[in-house]
Amino acid sequence: MFREILEGIVERVGGGIGAVLMGYDGIAIDHFFKPCEEIDLQLAAVEYANVLKDIRNIVEILNTGEMEEVSIRTGRYFVIIRAVTAEYFVALTLEQNGNFGKGRYLLQREAQSLREGLL
């Protein structure tokens, strides 16, 4: 069920490469990656999980409300990360020319379905 949601996001977003539903402990629940990509998205998600934990702590210290979304643009990719529950997040990787706005929208919309599946 999670895989279908992740695949739907990657296929519909435009320029989608992969998506993963993962815990802040770096352990993935499920993922969908398009074949033959150069970067190790699983490894990337684990690394970003550590950074997310730091950001979440900072957000708590600063008392600026809960962390909802983090996006990272590098020379080659966009990564959009959205909190699903207190323990889990979903990360979507796009090509640089991918549809960033649609990615944010789809993650926001599907976070609810993912959340329901986790409960």
Binding site for its own copies (CB under 8 A): 39-40, 43-44, 47-48, 50-51, 54-55, 58-59, 61-77, 101
**Gap between the terminal Cα atoms of the chain:** 13
Our CA angle for 106, 110, 116, nearest 5°, is 170
Tell me how many degrees the CA angle 29-92-98 measures, rounded to the nearest 5: 160
Quickly tell me which residue has 């970067």 as its tokens: 39
Tell the smallest beta-carbon distance from residue 59 to its own copies (Å). Answer: 5
In the complex, least distance from residue 4 CB atom to its own copies, rounded to whole angstroms:
26
Separation CA 39–CA 56 (nearest Å): 26
SS3 33: strand
Residue with smaller CB distance to its own copies, 66 or 116: 66
Q: What minimum distance in Å lies between the beta carbon of 113 and its own copies?
A: 20
| Least CB distance to its own copies at residue 98 (A) | 14
